[in-house]
Structure 1
Amino acid sequence: MAPPPVVTGISPKEGPPGTRITIRGEFLGTQVQDLVGLTICGCDCLLSAEWKSPNKIIARSGPCKGRGDIIVTTRSGGQGTSTVQFRGYHETIGPMKESAVWVEEAPSFVWGRRALSPTNYQQEDPLGLSVEGNEKKFPEDELMELFGSDVSGELTSDKFHPGMFLLQNHHATSLEDLKAGLAYLRRKVNSQKEGQLSFLKANVGSVMEQLDTIVLLKDQFETDVKNCPENPMDKLESAIKESMTEANKLFDDVLARRDRADATRNALAVMQRYKFLFCMPVNIEKNIKNGNYDLVINDYARVKNLFKNTEVDVFKKVLREIEYRIETLREVLRKKLEEVPFTLDEQKKIIRHLINLEADGDPAWDAIVSHANYLEKSIKSCTNEYLDSDSRDDDYRGGLTIKSNASTPMSIKQFKLTKSDENNVPSRVQCIEALCDIMLEQLPDLWRLGQSYFTGQLHVTIDNEKQGPFKNFVLSNIQHAVDAMSNVCESNLEAPWLLHSLRCIRHMYVSLIHLDLPSDALDLFESFIFDLRTQCLVAIFKQAADNILLLGRKENWQIEYLDDTGGITKLPSLFEQMTIEASKLARETAVECGHREGSLLVDPGQQSLYYDAIKSLFSSFARCLQQLAFSGTDDNFDDEMTTESHFAGTQTASYRMRDSKMHGPTWEQCLLISLSNIRYTLSDVLPRVEESLKKQGYPDLSSSIGYNSDWTELETLDTAVLDAYLERRCDPLIGTIEPNMYLGDLDWSWNLPPMHMKPYAQEIISNVIGVHAEVRRVSPCLLSRVLSHIVENIAEELARLMTCVNSKFSPSGIIQARLDILMLRKILASFSTPKAKNFFDEALKAVPPPVAKEDAERIDILMTKVTSRMKLQIISLQDDFEDDTTSSKVDSDHTTVV
């Protein structure tokens, strides 16, 4: 309940009836409809009131007289009070004062006669003084203070007081004039007291003239009777009538003007009284043009209440004009309601206007239908606009050959959009953003409008049968939006844009959840978001797999020793880092559940997708290592020099190796580095990746069917790389044994005394030491795997050669052959496998035993002598040998180039 109105100021403070008064105060109403009453000095002035604001009202005074309060009554605050008063008075209009009122002639106070047309407008001043031009009035407030409200200055009033009369009419008259007026009043009173005799004495001349005239008329009448025997009275009567007719002709124009003035005055009075009605059509057009529909509706309601049952033709004609304009307003509001979009408040306002204007049909339901149709149209037009734009862009891009000249693969950080990316948003992503904006802007208003309709807030008759169609409107529009978004997301969008779209859709989904939409509607979005999260998960790992496949561009063949077992490059660490970052990103964006979202990776189908995505990471890294390991073959090199390779635009790994005799590693060294990387990945990186994924809450990889087979590709690659290295190192070494053995026409039947191992055996030791040094420098843990294969091949070749000796062994030949075989077996014992030892035994069996005891002793002496001379070679091939002077191990904070 608002406070009661209070009037604190008026302007002007006094005036005649019809004075335009500005009323100021507080709590004068919150709107036009809130003002229900206005009285000025006891007269009802509500019809002429114009409400401007809670502090201002403009009205015209009624036919009041005297002082009185201004009382404002509002619907919210009730009847108010006034701290000021207004004084109403009636102006005295004389013959010389301009006025639209016809003024009768002033009465003449002739003795013994009454005025023919008495008037209430003007009385002759009793003092005989003129009051024309005396516009300055004595302040009414002071008169009231002096005499009170019980006396009056009017001559005809019963409460006449001469002092108030003088102050009202002669307060500016001089004392001499007042004395003259007093003398005039005395003479006038005395003359009335003397009677007719005194009057005759005072006017004896005039009386005598009148008697002479009457005598003259009598004589003339008698003469006329003699001359005219007929009755002279008829002639006189006709003459009098004729004179009266002529006299009336003299005043016809004046009387006609008087009649016209009376008619005009009456018409003006009617127009002034019903000015509100006659100005209503013009005001309606003006307010419609300015958008002031509330004023139009308020005025229309007042007109309907006042003149709905009128029988006056003029009023009926005006009412027809008003109805025509009101119908125009109804059509305007209906069109505005169909145009959309408007805010919810504007829609409710238009609906309220139509209801107040008594529009046909159900404006509220029409608004709901229009809003639903507009939402559906917006979704379709948005989809068509952006998809058409995207197809045009595809056509344009189809005529171009785009080549990437990036020297490094995409980093996982590129999953986060940069400012340049935000300025080049694909059309499909813009479509997703636009659809989300449309749903956020229009669907809440549609839903709230429907809720307002069914809860009775729109002041219409509630039709519960329409709840079903309304729900269908909401569900169908949501389904349209979901289908459009699904079509866009099913296209080949990159992972960053998919994540961006997921964020936009999730933001929209959370906002719609707060609307308390039915679960059927929210389930549509929840199912779509679940599928999109799965798509984002797969896209993130696919993007990571593609980036891992391009890691070869970052390989510079710098090795870092982690421990004594061997060294690796930064490639396995990059693989591990990118895998973990991709899993974290997928966890934060897709796997983690938002508000009212289902858990991902729960059902077997989702887990299968996850296992396949992780497997693709392992496979990509295996292919990357394979490309690096075998990029130095002659065939690949020739192809890369003539065709555009996978690493187009960059200096390929093979080209660096072929042109790196002075700057980079050989292909054999690259094979060893790749082999070390593979073993480190299998033994350390993959278990750490598995543990990290498990800590992040992903399904356990060990529970996946065929999980161990996921690593088979790396195992197979490990074997292939090892075979390639052995082929590069072992085959040339074995191939040189036989030529070197028979270099210089060696013949085992000669009797030259042996002094040392033959050159072929020394070269075998030197070649093995070279391989040993090469492998140890890269990865000591590979020594046993590499050298065991080489020693087996050496022992096998040695057994073959000894078995195939055609000549007969001489005693010296026996000593030399057995010395060579025994020393080789002794020096290579650290890397001899049982198979190699069997081959060495076969070689010894192929050589006859010493003929004499001295020959056997000679062999022992020579072995001791050779062992002493080849101590350094023997020590260098010891598996547990460690020497700080020959070790290539460096601190963990440094790297060395092979």
Structure 2
Amino acid sequence: MGRMPIVTGLSPNEGPPGTRIKIRGENLGQSPQDLIGLTICGVDSLLTAEWKSANKIIAISGPIKGKGDVIVTTRSGGIGTCNVTFKGYHIATIGPMKESAVWVEETELFSWGRHSLSPSSYQQEDPLGLSVEDTEKKIPEDDLLQFYPRKNGDITSDGFAPGWFLLENHHATSFNDLQAGLVHLRRKVQGQKEGQLSFLKANIGAVMDQLDTLVNLKEKYEADLPKFGHEPTLKLEKAIKESEHEARKLFDDVLNRKDRAEKTRNALNVLTRFRFLFCLPCVIDRNVKKGDYDIVINDYIRVKNLFHKTDVPIFKTALNEIEKRITDLQVKLHQDLQTMPITVEQQKRLIRYLVNLEAPYDSAWDAIKARSEYINKKFSLIHNYHKSMDKQESKSKPGSASKYSKYKEISSIEVAVIPACINLVDEICLSIKETFPDLWKIGQAYFSGELQCKIEAGRQVEYKHMVMNVIETFCKYVRASLIPTTLEKNDKTQYGSLTLPDRDEMVLYLPELLQQVRSTYSTFIKLDLPSEALDIISQLLLDLRIHCMSLIFQQTTEQIKQLNENWKINYSGKYTGVTGLPLKFLSFIEDLIQAIKESVLITEQREIILFENQLAQKEIEKQLKNILTAFHNVLHQLSSSEDYDEFENGTPVVSQLIGTPVSSHKTGSQSSVPIWEHRLLIILSNCLFVKTTVLDMVAAKFRENNFPALDGIISSAKDRLEQLEKSILDKYLEQKSDPLVGTIEPSMYLGRFDWHLAVPPNDIRPYVKECINNLINVHSEIIHISPTLLNAVLPQVVETVAEELYRLMSCVQKFSREGAVQARADISALSDILAGYSTENAQVHFKEALEVIPSLDRTDQILVEDILRQCKARMKIQVMCLKKKC
């Protein structure tokens, strides 16, 4: 869609009906065809409008009265606006002696040899050719006398003062208008001088002959005065009487000429009888000028039937004249037949005329060839025009060597420009829809015998080649403009691809252009063309649909690549524990499917179902794989961008016993971005949600809209997400488990404790409680992010803790009886409390750790059970936190 037209100036801005108005503004149309509406003060004036350029239109005002806007409507920009107004008024008459807001066409005041020599005839109302200003605003004559004493503003006066004249008649006229008036006055004076001189130059011989004749006449008259006296008429009277006498004597000669008169009379009778034959040349000329060719043909056939075997010389002469005019008429009709544009009915009528006149032309075939050449020539003109426009756009755009963009910054103003290749396809589709049906109709009339012409051998093959060539040329121009990669190298050189817009802009235009090509295809189908011709356009449509689908996929892929995480977790609604990233991805897929469904999947008459084509199937599989890969990369990139400045104030530890409390968030930070461990959990939750829910919804969406089976691609995407989940989980465990496990050993031997010391046990050791609290912290963190991750993450942490305890127990060199009781109570407490999240490996490690500890007697075993009972009672809340919910 182009820019809206704006009217910024009118010249003049007022006048009566019939005023010639110059309309100036911006975006007033790209061509005369683009101008579809013009109203002046609410009156439609389109019929009188003359489009000059995108900034100028000339029109004639209609029967308007009062002020109103001048509104211009264009096909490309729509209904425009007006910054000025035009005032219409009605006056009785306008002449050279009456003031008017418009220029009045004045007759030449100086006509050679016919003008009056009175001074008033040399005086014009306005020598400068400008509008006379309002008399009420003129400068008083007394004031002018002060500036120009003994002067006046009368042009014919000896005291004429130019300054007086300008102040009196043009005191408010601009300097530019005065300059234009001066040029007008000089041109007038020069024209008058040139008119007199040119007349004398052109007739100098005749003037000199006239002067010589007058001189000779005068000399002879003066010479005859002595001879004939002052009364020459007396001798003239005598001569007349003598002539009368001699004439009477000649009466006898009349009788002698009687015989000759009889012969003449007979000749006149013949002329009268055969007047039709002798007058026919003039009648033919007169009817040809009128365009009454039927009358000419009827008269010619009638004459041929009557006189074609005559031997009379005068009749043969008349027939020769008629034949000359008929030959000229045949040439004229043949030229008119091949002059485009012309309707099929007009061509048929001209062919009938030529057939009846027995013209030596194959007129019907010439008409077919003329139409074919006209279509190809119009294609070439459209292509050359838009190719030149494309070069102009490339030169006018800053940084034209860079990638084409829909909007270019020119003088800090963004202007939307429709690319030349888009306009070319649009115009070439309209052109072939207008011209090709006529070519097909005239061809069918020729071969069906409707035109009553002789059909030479081989014409059908030649006509088929002609039609196929037009269709192939049309398709190649469209391909060169939209999908040049589908053309061969020679065709690219011949049809010359234009500058292609970028992908996002092409996605905007391509669906509409696809509809244009579809409309053209529908026109061809209605003409009942053979399948061989229709298949060419059908293949073009298929390639355009695949290309359009590919561009929509690519655009969606780029949009997905630009996705960012806002880290806001959804705690309510249908999908909990995830951010908006997966749903945004799903929304892109839904928009993608809707766009493809509206523009590509629609199958009209005689079109191939898109996904029955193997190339289309491969393309959609490729593009869907790219989309899923792009989203996988987004998740992978989010899981790989660790914020190493997070702990710049000091490395946090998770041991409360060594002096630093557990911290799950940045201390004193006001950032909305969570810490690295939380981000990993969020990404892990999103990956799990995408794998288990979103991808299945994507597959269902494609199935619902009749896309081909994409289960393999979806399954592959799930496998990659599963690998990504494992990678993210390993990172989280590395970030969470390693510090947690690393604090067990220092906390175990805190206060110089050792397992061989005889310290009576009465409770589990503090490192066990700390370990449980740390696991509760991890449990809380996971629950806070996404409860669905609990069974995937916490068992891995418990397994790491169990493995570390087994290692530490294995490293103890000696246990005292009390140390063995303490160790067994500690390991048993951890094993029981963490049983809900213990994997088989964790249980094995706990069991192996207990096996490392020396065996206890019955008394020590009872002591261990008592310690465990008291521990669970005191740590009832912790036990409930780590109890697995079914």
User: TM-score scaled to structure 1, two decimals?
Assistant: 0.58
> For residues 680 and 755 of structure 1, what CA distance do their matches in structure 2 show?
47
Gaps of 5+ in 2: 1-241, 408-413, 485-499, 649-664
Once the two structures are superposed, what CA deviation does each residue of 1:366-396 show, in whole Å capped at 9, x if it has no partner?
1111212222333344445445655665675
Deviation at 1:512, TM superposition (A): 0.8
Match of 2:369 in 1: 369
Answer yes or no: is 1:507 the counterpart of 2:510. no
> For residues 672 and 678 of structure 2, what CA distance do their matches in structure 1 show?
13
CA contact under 8 A between 1:675 and 1:721: conserved in structure 2? yes
> For residues 540 and 306 of structure 2, what CA distance do their matches in structure 1 show?
61
Match of 1:690 in 2: 699
Deviation at 1:280, TM superposition (A): 7.0
Answer yes or no: is 1:834 the counterpart of 2:840. yes
Match of 1:463 in 2: 456
> For residues 778 and 878 of structure 2, what CA distance do their matches in structure 1 show?
13
> For residues 403 and 540 of structure 2, what CA distance do their matches in structure 1 show?
35
The percentage of counterpart residues that share the same residue type is 38
Match of 1:823 in 2: 829
> For residues 401 and 603 of structure 1, what CA distance do their matches in structure 2 show?
32
> For residues 866 and 521 of structure 1, what CA distance do their matches in structure 2 show?
90
Q: Which amino acid aligns with 1:377?
A: K
CA contact under 8 A between 1:537 and 1:591: conserved in structure 2? no
Q: What is the SS of the residue equivalent to 2:475?
A: helix
CA contact under 8 A between 1:561 and 1:568: conserved in structure 2? no
> For residues 853 and 744 of structure 2, what CA distance do their matches in structure 1 show?
17
CA contact under 8 A between 2:281 and 2:325: conserved in structure 1? yes
Q: Which amino acid aligns with 1:375?
A: I
Match of 2:159 in 1: none
Q: Which amino acid aligns with 1:861?
A: D
Q: What is the SS of the residue equivalent to 2:612?
A: coil
Q: Residue 436 and residue 559 in structure 1: after superposition, are their counterparts in 2 closer, same or farther (change >3 A)?
A: same
Once the two structures are superposed, what CA deviation does each residue of 1:700-757 show, in whole Å capped at 9, x if it has no partner?
334x5x7633432222122122222222222222222233333444434444444544
User: 1:679-828 residue pairs with structure 2 within 5 A?
Assistant: 679-702=688-711, 708-805=715-812, 808-828=814-834
CA contact under 8 A between 2:646 and 2:666: conserved in structure 1? no
Q: Residue 632 and residue 326 in structure 1: after superposition, are their counterparts in 2 closer, same or farther (change >3 A)?
A: farther
Match of 1:20 in 2: none
Q: What is the SS of the residue equivalent to 2:543?
A: helix
Match of 1:616 in 2: 626
Once the two structures are superposed, what CA deviation does each residue of 1:500-529 show, in whole Å capped at 9, x if it has no partner?
333222211111111121222122222333
Answer yes or no: is 1:557 the counterpart of 2:563. no
Q: Residue 471 and residue 837 in structure 1: after superposition, are their counterparts in 2 closer, same or farther (change >3 A)?
A: same
Match of 1:239 in 2: none
Match of 1:27 in 2: none
Answer yes or no: is 1:444 the counterpart of 2:437. yes
> For residues 403 and 254 of structure 1, what CA distance do their matches in structure 2 show?
101
> For residues 435 and 673 of structure 1, what CA distance do their matches in structure 2 show?
54
Q: Residue 272 and residue 596 in structure 1: after superposition, are their counterparts in 2 closer, same or farther (change >3 A)?
A: same
Deviation at 1:400, TM superposition (A): 3.9
User: 1:219-258 residue pairs with structure 2 within 5 A?
Assistant: 248=248
Answer yes or no: is 1:347 the counterpart of 2:347. yes
Q: Residue 824 and residue 315 in structure 1: after superposition, are their counterparts in 2 closer, same or farther (change >3 A)?
A: same
Match of 1:673 in 2: 682
Deviation at 1:620, TM superposition (A): 2.6
Q: Residue 353 and residue 794 in structure 1: after superposition, are their counterparts in 2 closer, same or farther (change >3 A)?
A: same
Q: Residue 729 and residue 275 in structure 1: after superposition, are their counterparts in 2 closer, same or farther (change >3 A)?
A: farther
CA contact under 8 A between 2:375 and 2:436: conserved in structure 1? yes
Q: What is the SS of the residue equivalent to 1:568?
A: coil
CA contact under 8 A between 2:611 and 2:708: conserved in structure 1? yes
Q: What is the SS of the residue equivalent to 1:601?
A: helix
> For residues 689 and 728 of structure 1, what CA distance do their matches in structure 2 show?
33
Q: Residue 326 and residue 635 in structure 1: after superposition, are their counterparts in 2 closer, same or farther (change >3 A)?
A: farther
CA contact under 8 A between 1:454 and 1:463: conserved in structure 2? no
CA contact under 8 A between 1:343 and 1:445: conserved in structure 2? yes
Once the two structures are superposed, what CA deviation does each residue of 1:767-811 show, in whole Å capped at 9, x if it has no partner?
2111111111222121111011111111112222232245x4444
Deviation at 1:828, TM superposition (A): 1.5
User: 1:10-25 residue pairs with structure 2 within 5 A?
Assistant: none
Gaps of 5+ in 1: 1-241, 406-419, 639-655, 882-898
Q: Residue 464 and residue 672 in structure 1: after superposition, are their counterparts in 2 closer, same or farther (change >3 A)?
A: same
Q: Which amino acid aligns with 1:685?
A: V
Q: Which amino acid aligns with 1:432?
A: V
User: TM-score scaled to structure 2, two decimals?
Assistant: 0.59
- Which structure would you say has the larger Rg? 1
Deviation at 1:439, TM superposition (A): 2.3
Deviation at 1:449, TM superposition (A): 0.5
Q: Residue 278 and residue 633 in structure 1: after superposition, are their counterparts in 2 closer, same or farther (change >3 A)?
A: farther
> For residues 364 and 727 of structure 1, what CA distance do their matches in structure 2 show?
88
Q: Which amino acid aligns with 2:727?
A: A
Q: Residue 436 and residue 767 in structure 1: after superposition, are their counterparts in 2 closer, same or farther (change >3 A)?
A: same
Q: Residue 849 and residue 249 in structure 1: after superposition, are their counterparts in 2 closer, same or farther (change >3 A)?
A: same
Match of 1:576 in 2: 586
CA contact under 8 A between 2:755 and 2:820: conserved in structure 1? yes
Once the two structures are superposed, what CA deviation does each residue of 1:193-226 show, in whole Å capped at 9, x if it has no partner?
xxxxxxxxxxxxxxxxxxxxxxxxxxxxxxxxxx
Q: Residue 310 and residue 424 in structure 1: after superposition, are their counterparts in 2 closer, same or farther (change >3 A)?
A: farther
Match of 1:863 in 2: 868
CA contact under 8 A between 1:390 and 1:427: conserved in structure 2? yes
Q: Which amino acid aligns with 1:670?
A: R
Match of 2:422 in 1: 429
Deviation at 1:548, TM superposition (A): 3.1
> For residues 737 and 549 of structure 2, what CA distance do their matches in structure 1 show?
47
> For residues 740 and 290 of structure 1, what CA distance do their matches in structure 2 show?
119
> For residues 579 and 707 of structure 1, what CA distance do their matches in structure 2 show?
13
Q: Which amino acid aligns with 1:399?
A: A
> For residues 735 and 364 of structure 2, what CA distance do their matches in structure 1 show?
87
Deviation at 1:812, TM superposition (A): 4.2
Q: Which amino acid aligns with 2:359?
A: A
> For residues 667 and 794 of structure 1, what CA distance do their matches in structure 2 show?
22
Deviation at 1:693, TM superposition (A): 2.9
CA contact under 8 A between 2:757 and 2:816: conserved in structure 1? yes
Answer yes or no: is 1:399 the counterpart of 2:401. yes
Once the two structures are superposed, what CA deviation does each residue of 1:861-882 show, in whole Å capped at 9, x if it has no partner?
332222222211111111218x
Q: Residue 296 and residue 634 in structure 1: after superposition, are their counterparts in 2 closer, same or farther (change >3 A)?
A: farther
Match of 1:891 in 2: none
CA contact under 8 A between 1:562 and 1:568: conserved in structure 2? no
Deviation at 1:589, TM superposition (A): 4.0
Match of 2:881 in 1: 876
Q: Residue 608 and residue 355 in structure 1: after superposition, are their counterparts in 2 closer, same or farther (change >3 A)?
A: same
Q: Residue 497 and residue 563 in structure 1: after superposition, are their counterparts in 2 closer, same or farther (change >3 A)?
A: closer
Q: What is the SS of the residue equivalent to 2:570?
A: strand
Q: Which 10-residue stretch deviates more, 502-511 or 819-828?
A: 819-828
User: 1:541-556 residue pairs with structure 2 within 5 A?
Assistant: 541-550=553-562, 552-553=563-564, 555=566
Match of 1:529 in 2: 541
Match of 1:165 in 2: none
Match of 2:209 in 1: none
Q: Which 10-residue stretch deviates more, 869-878 or 530-539?
A: 530-539
Match of 2:146 in 1: none
Q: What is the SS of the residue equivalent to 1:734?
A: helix
Q: Which 10-residue stretch deviates more, 860-869 or 579-588?
A: 579-588
Match of 2:639 in 1: 629
